[in-house]
């Protein structure tokens, strides 16, 4: 909810920016979502899961559009592959609602924590390798 308030404030500070309306809408949705989570945690969990599914689908579509835009360049296939996976993940979460609300948020948080841990290990190993050479 607090993040949504700051998003709305930032939107009004940058009214001349072309993304003003989008920024304002995101802020309002965040405030409403924060209120829902505070007043009814179960409905909030369901709403967050629905938002995550929608974000995965939107991200996947964006990645596919980008992939076809950069198609002559190497690596475009990986971007397209990531887009397809994101769309599939979004639809999997969406199709399992309301039961996916019980596991999706925890799974995504767990994957994020795991990847952060691995990235710190990779940084430490790279620093150790640089120090010894």
pLDDT in tens, 35-92: 888 899 888 888 889 989 999 999 999 999 999 999 888 888 999 999 999 999 999 9
Contact 36, 56 (CB under 8 A): no
> What is the pLDDT confidence band of residue 102, given thresholds at 50, 70 and 90?
confident
- Look over the chain and give the mean of its residue pLDDT values, rounded to a whole number: 89
Q: Is the peptide bond before 115 cis (omega within 30 degrees of 0)?
A: no
Residue 116 is predicted with a pLDDT of 87
């Amino acid at each position: 909810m607090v993040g949504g308030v700051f998003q709305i404030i930032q939107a009004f500070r940058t009214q001349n920016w072309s993304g003003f309306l989008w920024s304002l809408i995101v802020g309002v949705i965040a405030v409403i979502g924060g209120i829902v989570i505070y007043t009814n945690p179960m409905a909030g969990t369901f709403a967050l899961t629905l938002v995550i599914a929608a974000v995965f689908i939107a991200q996947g579509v964006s990645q596919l559009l980008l992939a076809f835009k950069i198609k002559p360049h190497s690596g475009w296939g990986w971007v397209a592959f990531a887009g397809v996976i994101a769309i599939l993940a979004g639809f999997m979460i969406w199709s399992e609602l309301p039961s996916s609300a019980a596991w999706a948020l925890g799974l995504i948080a767990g994957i994020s924590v795991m990847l952060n841990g691995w990235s710190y290990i990779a940084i430490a190993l790279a620093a150790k390798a640089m120090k010894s050479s």
